[in-house]
């Protein structure tokens, strides 16, 4: 069998997480379970364990990706706490936070690896992530690890809030969006909306200050959950009876 990333022939493949295990910590209950809630599973909620996994990667590629993942998780935890021993975190206004000394290379490759795994996954949860020729382009980037610039797959990060409070226990698949001629792919992990531009068109320079920068700077903007893109009524889903009843049963 062949590793989906490095394409090496190996005797066995790891059961690789599509979304890294470290990002599920805040989502799991005390029994290491979580509950996917979608518009499609009305009256059919069920507990899942250990996140979504598939046989994708060899051991070496698992280790490589896990280094990016662990570094990025630490960064997001510190940004949420507004305190860090490694990052310089400076609130610029009530809605904007400037992050300095963040690893552009590690953060970007972590996010690209998550997007790439979503695109090659056979699980219906990730069906909306179709990258076309960019699927192979991302594989090459993750395998060969070139030094990426700010404008290589630009990344925007927004902190999702509910009544002014950030909740890190949110993971969500948003899917594809468009800004003019530019296509971007979006998802939420640790309560942060990640927008990745996947397009041959260069973003206008006016957006540069908002992107994850190769100078290791990141401007994070807070947004209210009601302004999330492509919501399709999912937030209303949390208010429906089957969701409330399911959580009552689990608590009893």
Is 30 among the domain residues? yes
Q: How far apart, in whole angstroms, are the C-alpha atoms of residue 217 and residue 149?
A: 12
Is 3 among the domain residues? no
Q: Name which of 216, 8, 23, 188 is nearest 107 in CA terms.
A: 216
Is 215 among the domain residues? yes
Which two three-digit tokens encode residue 207? 């957006």
Is 5 among the domain residues? no
Answer yes or no: is pLDDT of 30 > 80: no
DSSP 37-102: --TT-TT----EES--EEEEE-HHHHHHHHHHHHHHHHHHHHHHHT--SS-EEEE-SSSEEEEES-
Is 232 among the domain residues? yes
Is 223 among the domain residues? yes
Number of domains in the chain: 1
Is 9 among the domain residues? no
178 three-class SS: strand
Is 191 among the domain residues? yes
Q: Name which of 149, 166, 67 is nearest 110 in CA terms.
A: 67
pTM: 0.85
Q: How far apart, in whole angstroms, are the C-alpha atoms of residue 49 and residue 219?
A: 34
Half-sphere exposure of 121 (CA within 13 A, CB side): 23
Per-residue pLDDT tens for 94-139?
899 999 999 999 999 999 999 999 999 998 888 889 999 999 999 9
Range of the domain at 29: 14-251
50-59, 115-124, 186-195: the lowest-pLDDT one: 50-59
16 three-class SS: strand
Per-residue pLDDT tens for 192-235?
999 999 988 888 888 889 999 999 999 999 988 777 755 545 55
Rg over alpha carbons for the chain, rounded to the nearest Å, is: 18
């Amino acid at each position: 069998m062949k590793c989906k990333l490095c394409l090496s022939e190996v005797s066995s493949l790891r059961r690789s997480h599509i979304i890294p295990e470290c990002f599920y910590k805040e989502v799991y209950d005390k029994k290491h379970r979580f509950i996917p809630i979608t518009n499609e599973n009305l009256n059919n909620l069920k507990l899942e364990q250990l996140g979504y996994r598939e046989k994708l990667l060899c051991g070496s590629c698992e280790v490589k990706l896990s280094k990016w993942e662990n570094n990025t998780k630490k960064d997001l935890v510190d940004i949420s706490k507004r305190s860090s021993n490694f990052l310089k975190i400076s609130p610029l206004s009530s809605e904007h936070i400037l992050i300095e000394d963040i690893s552009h290379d590690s953060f970007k490759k972590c996010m690209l690896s998550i997007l790439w795994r979503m695109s090659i996954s056979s699980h219906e949860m990730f069906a909306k992530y179709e990258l076309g020729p960019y699927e192979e382009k991302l594989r090459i980037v993750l395998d060969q690890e070139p030094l990426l610039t700010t404008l290589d797959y630009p990344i925007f990060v927004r902190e999702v809030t509910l009544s002014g409070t950030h909740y890190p226990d949110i993971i969500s698949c948003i899917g594809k969006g468009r800004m003019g001629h530019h296509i971007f792919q979006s998802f939420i992990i640790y309560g942060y909306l990640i927008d990745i531009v996947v397009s041959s068109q260069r973003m206008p320079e006016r957006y540069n200050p908002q992107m994850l920068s190769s100078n290791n700077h990141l401007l994070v903007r807070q947004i209210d959950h009601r302004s999330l893109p492509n919501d399709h009524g999912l937030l209303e889903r949390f208010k429906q009876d089957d969701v409330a009843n399911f959580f009552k049963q689990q608590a009893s």
